[in-house]
Homo-oligomer: A and B are copies of this chain.
Amino acid sequence: MKRTLTTQINKEIGKEVTLFGWIHKLRKMGGISFLVLRDRNGLAQAVIDGGEENDKLKELTTETVVKITGKVVKEERAPHGAELHDCKIEIISPVKEDISIAINKKEMNVNIDTLLDNRPITLRNPKQRAIFEVQSAITDEFRKFLEKRDFTEINTPKIVSSGLETGGAEMFTIDYFKKKAYLSQSPQMYKQIMVGVYERVFETAYIYRAEKHNTSRHINEYVSLDLEMGFIDSYEEIMDLEAEFLGGLLKKLEENYSEEFGMLSSEIPVIKKGIPRMKLSEAQEILEKEYGEKCVGEPDLEPKHEKQICEYTAKQLGSEFVFITHYPSKKRPFYTMDDPKIPKETLSFDLLFRGLEITTGGQRIHLYEEYLEKMKSRGMNTKDFEDYLSVFKYGMPPHGGLAIGLERITARLLNLDNIREASLFPRDINRLRP
């Protein structure tokens, strides 16, 4: 007995088919019942009119797992233009407890805590499913885009003996066989090391930040889409690469995920004439001129400014994405390359999208002496970085890279208010379950 998927029934008009899935909706009207079945691909309607099968439905509730065999009949008003008649129903797994959340409704009308506390069940809601279908498409496109360009996938350790800069601040500590270890806050050092091996590398993996921020923009375990590439001429090449990736991604989403975007009432962004690039100082001048914000000379943009500058570029420059470059040296990690032409500014960038920073990137220092000098000027102990620094003794090309926050780009693409909605099982300062 072959299984037919819900989305395929319209290819079987007049035939008997067998579907498997969950009872998504059940409407009993006297002697006739309308059952909507949900499987991995979508929904299909079955009409049960009278008799023994209808009696069976009396005890059934939504989410019961069933097998339905029936004849496919054309019906324009049903999903996929067809429905099942003359059905036989077999119960595979019963429901043991009434569900208090309307997971089969378009809007579940629950607050974020209820949504997340009941994740194992709320994720079955079609809108929630759509979020993570889109998310998996983003990761998939990131990998495929890079593979085509000779990047090699790497797996770098998440249990590390020291941090990037501060030796453990904002890192979670682990009891590692009685020794103290940390959860990696970034694959930065490892991906640079791997540029010495493969030139071009990427990783799509969790990283961890022990930040106490409890905002709609922060989670403590998140997926970082990381890349690093050698033999670049300029940090601009990294932005070129990201712009090309995003162009391809938006095209793919347009072609395959318009239904998901529709469900989430979000528009797939259009980049009309490329992604604009401006120095932080230029952005600040715009903010002062257009919004009266007195921020010129500040080392970074505030969340409010990120929203304003995105609004500005969307209206004036035709892009909801904007690269902000040349953050001051003191605000960027030690490995960031300074701009030789502009003192105290770096060859670094953030990508802002719909008001949120979704990427940080830039060119890195590649000469050993420059590392020693920069670290000395910051009072850092080079002994703590011996493994990392060793590669720069043995020839490293000019290189740079970036990291995209997967949950952030997902949330902004789909207009989710809270980044937690873009994580299957988010972790924050108060949330360790489910």
Show the binding face of A for B, using Cβ within 8 Å. 3, 20, 22-23, 39-41, 63-65, 92-97, 99, 118-121, 123-124, 128-129, 132-133, 135-136, 139-140, 143, 147, 150, 152-161, 172-177, 179, 181, 183, 190, 193-194, 196-200, 205-206, 208, 210, 212, 220-221, 223, 230-231, 366-368, 387-388, 390-398, 406, 423-425, 427, 429, 432-434
A199 touches B40 (CB 8 A): yes
A367 touches B397 (CB 8 A): no
A150-B40, A155-B223, A174-B183 given; A397·B212 CB < 8 A:
no
Tell me, in angstroms, the Cα distance from A197 to B94 when the chains sit together. 16
- In the complex, which residues of chain B have a beta carbon less than 8 angstroms from the beta carbon of A208? 159
CB-contact partner of A196 in B124, B139, B398, under 8 A: B124
- In the complex, which residues of chain B have a beta carbon less than 8 angstroms from the beta carbon of A139? 153
Least distance between A23 CB and chain B CB atoms (Å): 8
Q: Which of A179, A198, A396 has the most CB of B within 10 A?
A: A198
- In the complex, which residues of chain B have a beta carbon less than 8 angstroms from the beta carbon of A197? 123-124, 128-129, 132
Least distance between A20 CB and chain B CB atoms (Å): 5
Copies of this chain in the oligomer: 2
B96 touches A179 (CB 8 A): no
A154 touches B136 (CB 8 A): yes
- In the complex, which residues of chain B have a beta carbon less than 8 angstroms from the beta carbon of A147? 140
- In the complex, which residues of chain B have a beta carbon less than 8 angstroms from the beta carbon of A368? 96
Enumerate 12 A-B pairs (CB-CB under 8 Å) in ascending A order.
Answer: A20-B397, A92-B398, A93-B367, A95-B393, A95-B395, A96-B393, A119-B193, A123-B194, A123-B196, A140-B143, A157-B427, A172-B176
CB-contact partner of A387 in B128, B150, B434, under 8 A: B434
B156 touches A136 (CB 8 A): no
CB-contact partner of A206 in B158, B395, B406, B424, under 8 A: B158
A65-B397, A93-B367, A394-B121 given; A173·B172 CB < 8 A:
no
- In the complex, which residues of chain B have a beta carbon less than 8 angstroms from the beta carbon of A196? 120-121, 123-124
A124-B196, A427-B157 given; A395·B97 CB < 8 A:
no
B190 touches A425 (CB 8 A): yes
Tell me, in angstroms, the Cα distance from A223 to B124 when the chains sit together. 27
A175's closest neighbor in chain B, by CB?
Answer: B173
A425 touches B40 (CB 8 A): no
Tell me, in angstroms, the Cα distance from A210 to B97 when the chains sit together. 37
Least distance between A222 CB and chain B CB atoms (Å): 9
Tell me, in angstroms, the Cα distance from A118 to B391 when the chains sit together. 10
Least distance between A431 CB and chain B CB atoms (Å): 10
Tell me, in angstroms, the Cα distance from A210 to B132 when the chains sit together. 31
Least distance between A104 CB and chain B CB atoms (Å): 12
B434 touches A198 (CB 8 A): no
A60's closest neighbor in chain B, by CB?
Answer: B395
Tell me, in angstroms, the Cα distance from A221 to B159 when the chains sit together. 8
Tell me, in angstroms, the Cα distance from A286 to B147 when the chains sit together. 45
Tell me, in angstroms, the Cα distance from A197 to B128 when the chains sit together. 9
